[in-house]
């Protein structure tokens, strides 16, 4: 897998920080029914340690921004945060987000560094989950882990793979590789972003890592994951005459090849056919497509009832009451499928504009600071947020903070 581990106090803390953020993306440990691992709180502890050990120097313009942000965040808390969500909101928006803005503001390249850490950790977990996934067809689980996800359920425990979802194919049911997550779309979310990093963040493409990630995405049976995987691989091939320089910083052109464009076009057609067939298969075997459309409709209706502050932080019940009658009356799946409309409905224009500003600042700043591959990562993240419900996860807020810091930061201090 070509992953080099250099253990120092700094790398250990950074690796732990990224691992904990990964676990917070609705892993079975974050959603454990019988235990509280305090994952979000531990992430904040890691941030404090990183800020102290790196001796972060606060700039006046950043301090002014953070002060204004804190005033607005407290105002939102008074208007839209219930007592049952006070701790969650405080950890995420009053502690984590402003601290990450301060951390990134002195060196925007730290966002690239954390993305690479994330990709390396996901590759390791993907390899381990593949091994455990195939072993699950031959051995019994080591035990069961109770998860609170759409109700309390027991998942078969295979250490790095939890047997909690099935996929019907031709009348037979096969386990979906959800890794350590509650469902396949969450795992596909992490795998897709790791694949993007491995394809674009390195001068030499890590072929073993790419193969591991692609194989794992296929075992999730996630339409979104497979579509993103195909698109990223094609994009990387299409940009094959572009590479990173020795510092992993700037793209450099090689000679063009007309054959490349022909093969890319053919590959795009083949990929479109494959994704279309998978999409039709999903529609014919369930109501996934209709549910996703209804999620957007329900969230938009909820937002209209309170456009400024939203219906309330974590107030999913307000969205649920706006779902279609057929879904409320007899269909059991009343979960949610996308972060974008969830943010709009629950945090209103106030919260939605904060995310928009963060992602816009991240893409603009990445291009300005000659880190175009970070812009690609952010665009892929935005696309995934449209079909995955990870609205207030720390992993997403990290990129929001990265973008906000880019608006004020100077050129990155590349090491």
Taking only the tens place, the pLDDT of each residue in 235-276 is 887 776 454 443 444 444 444 555 555 555 666 666 666 665
The token duo for 288 is 């996934």
In 201-296, the DSSP E strands lie at: 242-244, 251-253
Report the pLDDT value the prediction gives residue 244, as an integer from 0 to 100: 47
Report the pLDDT value the prediction gives residue 263, as an integer from 0 to 100: 59
CA dist 32 and 384 (Å) reads 24
CA dist 234 and 260 (Å) reads 11
Query: Using a CB cutoff of 8 Å and minimum separation of 24, what contacts does 203-211 make?
Result: 203/243, 203/244, 203/245, 203/246, 203/248, 205/236, 206/1, 206/2, 206/123, 208/1, 208/2, 209/1, 209/2, 209/3, 209/119, 209/123
State residue 252 phi and psi, 5-degree precision. Answer: -130, 135
The token duo for 194 is 């790791």
Which of 28-32, 215-219, 279-283 bottoms out in mean pLDDT, i.e. has the lowest?
Answer: 279-283
The DSSP output letter for 57 is P
Model confidence at 413, in pLDDT bands (50, 70, 90)? Answer: very low
Mean pLDDT to the nearest integer, 7-12: 84
Report the pLDDT value the prediction gives residue 173, as an integer from 0 to 100: 84
CA dist 22 and 93 (Å) reads 18
Report the pLDDT value the prediction gives residue 7, as an integer from 0 to 100: 73
Mean pLDDT to the nearest integer, 302-326: 89
Among residues 210, 215, 211, 221, which one has the least CA distance to residue 183? 221
Count of Cβ atoms closer than 10 Å to residue 87 Cβ: 11
Q: Is residue 174 over pLDDT 80?
A: yes
Mean pLDDT to the nearest integer, 372-401: 93
Report the pLDDT value the prediction gives residue 412, as an integer from 0 to 100: 45
Task: Report H helices in 305-371.
Answer: 316-320, 325-329, 339-368
Question: What proportion of the chain, given as a percentage, has pLDDT over 70?
Answer: 82
Taking only the tens place, the pLDDT of each residue in 85-112 is 999 999 999 999 999 999 998 887 899 9
pTM of this prediction? Answer: 0.89
Integer CA distances (angstroms), 167 to 155, 170, 234, in order: 15, 10, 27
Top-confidence residue, 233 or 267: 233
Taking only the tens place, the pLDDT of each residue in 271-308 is 666 665 655 655 555 556 677 788 888 999 999 999 99
Report the pLDDT value the prediction gives residue 3, as an integer from 0 to 100: 53
Model confidence at 411, in pLDDT bands (50, 70, 90)? Answer: very low
40 contacts 201 by C-beta, under 8 angstroms: no
Report the pLDDT value the prediction gives residue 167, as an integer from 0 to 100: 82
Report the pLDDT value the prediction gives residue 288, as an integer from 0 to 100: 63
Residue with tokens 């207030």: 392
């Amino acid at each position: 897998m070509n992953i080099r581990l250099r253990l120092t106090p700094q790398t250990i803390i950074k690796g732990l920080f990224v691992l904990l953020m990964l676990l917070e993306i609705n892993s079975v440990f974050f959603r454990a029914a019988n235990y509280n691992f305090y994952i979000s709180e531990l992430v904040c502890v890691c941030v404090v340690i990183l800020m102290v050990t790196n001796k972060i120097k606060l700039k006046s313009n950043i301090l002014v921004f953070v002060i204004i942000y804190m005033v607005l965040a407290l105002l939102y808390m008074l208007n839209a945060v219930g007592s049952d969500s006070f701790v969650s909101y405080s950890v995420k928006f009053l502690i984590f987000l402003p601290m990450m803005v301060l951390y990134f503001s002195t060196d925007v390249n730290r966002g690239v560094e954390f993305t690479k850490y994330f990709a390396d950790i996901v590759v390791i977990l993907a390899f381990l989950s593949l091994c455990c996934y195939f072993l699950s067809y031959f051995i019994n689980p080591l035990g069961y882990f109770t998860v609170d996800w759409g109700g309390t359920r027991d998942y078969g425990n295979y250490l790095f793979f939890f047997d909690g979802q099935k996929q019907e194919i031709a009348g037979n049911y096969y386990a979906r590789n959800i890794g350590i997550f509650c469902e396949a779309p969450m795992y596909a979310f992490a795998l897709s972003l790791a694949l993007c990093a491995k394809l674009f963040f390195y001068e030499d493409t890590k072929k073993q890592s790419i193969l591991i990630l692609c194989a794992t995405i296929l075992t999730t049976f996630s339409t979104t994951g497979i579509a993103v995987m195909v698109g990223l691989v094609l994009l990387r091939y299409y940009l094959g005459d572009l590479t990173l320089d020795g510092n992993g910083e700037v793209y450099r052109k090689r000679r063009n090849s007309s054959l490349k464009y022909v093969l890319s076009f053919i590959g795009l057609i083949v990929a479109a056919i494959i994704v279309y067939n998978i999409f039709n298969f999903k529609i014919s075997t369930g109501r996934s497509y209709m549910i996703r459309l209804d999620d957007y409709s329900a969230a938009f209706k909820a937002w209209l009832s309170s456009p400024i502050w939203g219906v309330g932080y974590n107030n999913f019940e307000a969205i649920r009451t706006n779902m279609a009658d057929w879904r409320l009356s007899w269909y059991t799946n009343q979960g949610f499928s996308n972060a974008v409309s969830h943010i709009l409905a629950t945090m209103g224009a106030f919260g939605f504009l904060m995310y928009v500003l963060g992602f816009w600042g991240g893409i603009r700043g990445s291009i300005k600071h000659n880190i175009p591959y970070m812009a690609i990562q952010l665009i892929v993240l935005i696309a995934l947020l449209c079909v995955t419900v990870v609205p207030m996860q720390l992993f997403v807020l990290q990129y929001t903070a990265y973008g906000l810091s880019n608006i004020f930061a100077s050129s990155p201090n590349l090491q």
